[in-house]
Structure 1
């Protein structure tokens, strides 16, 4: 399963990261195996059904061995973390196979993530997007994500120009909106 994740990340992210990819790939390999990492995988079975599974990365190895007749279409990697003293669900990766992109699965996965966040009383969903990944920026904007007040471009516009990424968020309560969107600390 790790190989699948690493390969899909490379296919989808090597171009947006550009020369930063070699270093970023190592960071992502470490991030994917920490105990706090949670995953949801989208699989298409030979009978046409698509299913989602949420579990720790270490539990996924067993699931794949049980269902060899399925085809992975993508995954979301997330964690429950604290940002600006607020509990948030942070999406580390949303990756879909190129053949599965543009079919509504990414939107579905983000809606699922938002429901998980709300059910667990998280103040927001947060994520990082490469500025060069214009498709992802447009996708998240369409889903009503905004540039967070914690993003480098909002913290210090001069530094933000030098950074290759933005931090986006969608808040679910007034405290989270105040801290993560409006920047009221």
Structure 2
């Protein structure tokens, strides 16, 4: 009888946890939750000779010009790191970018004159989702044109991403990086202090004692609480 009551409590606790996480994700996606507006200090970037401003976006509301820009920049930045995998990955990324779950932060250059149209120079694509029963912000893309790289903008955007994750009670920021993209690997692991996640293929194969199996990518994470750390970093 005691075991039965204990099992019922456990099931009830699991259901309550599942419901709480689902409500967190739903709240993060609510139409009145403009993640960028909550951080006015991150709406402009005036450093290292750059004068930029940020605007939010959503996958199912992208203009045709923004879709074309995303496709072009992804090809320029990612065709090399993906190598032979790129044609298939490009198709997948085209489908992903227009999803209603795809949230964006677009970076624009401030026009020189009032009658000049602002030009986009990069973007962040992120989503709120669940990994190993942990609510996370999953960073799908952080893409900048080459002329704007190496000027602190990437770190600035990642600080914003992490603030958005914490504001929405996510347990971690999770992202996938191609091993061939060595500059990105160094950026996340060494400059931003991300860790290779316990759910990354290299860690999973190591735990299983599998030798000779390798994937072209790693899954990285930065956790914000003990539970998320235990699951996503230390499992």
The secondary structure found in structure 1 opposite 2:219 is strand
- 2:221 aligned with 1:169, yes or no? yes
In the TM superposition, what are the counterparts of 1:53-132 in structure 2 within 5 Å?
69-132=117-180
Q: CA deviation at 1:174?
A: 0.3
Q: Normalising by structure 2, what TM-score?
A: 0.68
The secondary structure found in structure 2 opposite 1:42 is strand
Which of 4, 17, 22 aligns to 2:87? It is: 22
Which of 204, 211, 216 aligns to 1:155? It is: 204
Q: In the superposition, relative to structure 1, how do residues 116 and 133 fare at CA in structure 2: closer, same or farther (>3 Å)?
A: same
Paired position in structure 2 for 1:136: 184
- Alpha-carbon distance in structure 2 between the residues aligned to 1:170 and 1:159: 27
Q: CA deviation at 1:47?
A: 4.0
Paired position in structure 2 for 1:53: none
Q: Normalising by structure 1, what TM-score?
A: 0.86
- Alpha-carbon distance in structure 2 between the residues aligned to 1:159 and 1:26: 31
- Alpha-carbon distance in structure 2 between the residues aligned to 1:132 and 1:154: 18
Gaps of 5+ in 1: 49-66
Runs of 4 or more consecutive aligned structure 1 residues displaced over 6 Å after TM superposition: none
Gaps of 5+ in 2: 1-65
Contact 1:8 1:97 in 2 (8 A): yes
- Alpha-carbon distance in structure 2 between the residues aligned to 1:28 and 1:68: 31
Contact 1:152 1:159 in 2 (8 A): no
- Alpha-carbon distance in structure 2 between the residues aligned to 1:20 and 1:162: 15
Q: CA deviation at 1:69?
A: 1.2
- 2:57 aligned with 1:5, yes or no? no
Aligned positions, number? 165
